[in-house]
Amino acid sequence: MAQNIIVNLIPNKNFTSEHILTKKDLTFDQQHIWHPYTSAINPLPCYEVTGAEGVYIHLATGEKLVDGVSSWWTAIHGYNHPKLNQAVKSQVDEFSHVMFGGLTHKPAIDLCRTLVDITPQGLDRVFLADSGSVSVEVAMKMALQYWACQGNSRKHRFISPRNGYHGDTFAAMSVCDPINGMHSLFSDVLTQQIFSPAPQTRFDKQWNEDDIKPLEQLIQAHHNELAALIIEPIVQNAGGMRIYHPEYLKRCRQLCNDYDILLICDEIATGFGRTGKLFACEHADVSPDILCLGKALTGGYMTLAATLCSEDVAQGVCQGEPGVFMHGPTFMGNALACSVANASLKIIQQNDWQTQVFQIERQLRAELERCIHLEVVADVRVIGAIGVVECKSALNVAELQKAFVQQGVWIRPFGKLVYIMPPYIINPKQLSQLTQAIYDALK
């Protein structure tokens, strides 16, 4: 029976009793609710949330935590944002959802128009999906159907660098790192893809030409069966928070051109300014054939994702039988999600997000650098509004998270990594609270 530990010691007097979990609630959660990446035998603690605003998460026990991970990299504008709230309220009074098959509406049209305008050049078709993993499934399915409709069904495999992570659904799992990608248990049932060594040249170091050779050799050997190369641009996120040289991505684009392979860029985590560019592809000045977006798309309010592709791919997918793209999520183009996404993108376009991210990056570099001198730390790396401290051995996540809560911050480590991806609206004092907490906890 699933069992989760709910940390709920002293009720916060600022909240009424209706906001606090009862003993019955706690028992139900412990016995029936499975939280992400949690063991049913030895679960990680869960902390009860009673509210959130700005960069803060409020706990029932009274703590006010600076959120260092933007709720898994989504809440870039912070919580309880008045413009995002209003977008949801206004749309719900008109209609919340209608099927997207045979019907359309302004929130979806406005969103797709904006995405075509702001994404790298040449991505002219938009497929709206439910979540990041689904957008990857859609991208892979597009690539496979594209080649099948060109009469080349032999091109049915994918190549990807190791240390990549693209989601937890089945096709997405098959292109995650087969050993370190959290899915090795399913290796016997997943489609066998091709993996090249992970890029090694760091973002801020001199490019090493040898870095691209293993990928080039694999593509030379297997290009006749490769539908696409799928890669996270510049930052390999959940596979290790690794930041690599833009030249590697440029060479990926060139290899795909040379060997007639589609390039899929997974910007679910890096899109919408996180790396200091609106899209991480811009660091290398490349445009993929297919682009996956999600996470921050709605500012953390609702689940929504998008898969964009070039006109060539869109036309190719629909040549011959069956003549249509064979995918259609039930909640595709959900009006509530599209409306809040439109509001989020307007905030990005109206705010000086580049200055916000640059200031975060500069402060992260200055304040996290001292962690490298700690005995337990192996590496420190920063790009845009992403700060990573890699330790020499695996961390006790429950113990470390408890220490962070005691210091008034919400940081969720994994493996050997303590990382922060704060909301863009964070101020210097709040950001220093995060970096100091990391230093103190690891010290």
Catalytic (active-site) positions:
37, 165, 266, 295
Which of 314, 276, 395 has the alpha carbon at shortest distance from 122? 314
Which of 78, 63, 414, 118 has the alpha carbon at shortest distance from 287? 118
Between CA 333 and CA 318 the distance in angstroms is 21
List, in sequence order, every residue forming a beta bridge with 226; answer none if it has no partner. 157
- What is the residue whose two structure tokens read 């049913």? 40
Q: Are strands 262-266 and 49-53 parallel, antiparallel or unpaired?
A: unpaired
Between CA 168 and CA 175 the distance in angstroms is 10
* SS3 per residue for the chain: CCCCEEECCCCCCCCCHHHCCCHHHHHHHHHHCCCCCCCCCCCCEEECEEEEEECEEEECCCCEEEECCHHHHCCCCCECCHHHHHHHHHHHHHCCCCCCCCCCCHHHHHHHHHHHHHCCCCEEEEEEECCHHHHHHHHHHHHHHHHHHCCCCCCCEEEEECCCCCCCCHHHHHCCCCCCCCCHHHCCCCCCCEEECCCCCECCCCCCHHHHHHHHHHHHHHHHHEEEEEECCCEECCCCCEEECHHHHHHHHHHHHHHCCEEEEECCCCCCCCCCCCCHHHHCCCCCCEEEECHHHHCCCCCCEEEEEEHHHHHHHCCCCCCCCCCCCCCCCCHHHHHHHHHHHHHHHHCCHHHHHHHHHHHHHHHHHHHHHCCCEEEEEEECCEEEEEECCCCCHHHHHHHHHHCCEECCCECCEEEECCCCCCCHHHHHHHHHHHHHHHC
Which of 311, 230, 313, 241 has the alpha carbon at shortest distance from 270? 241
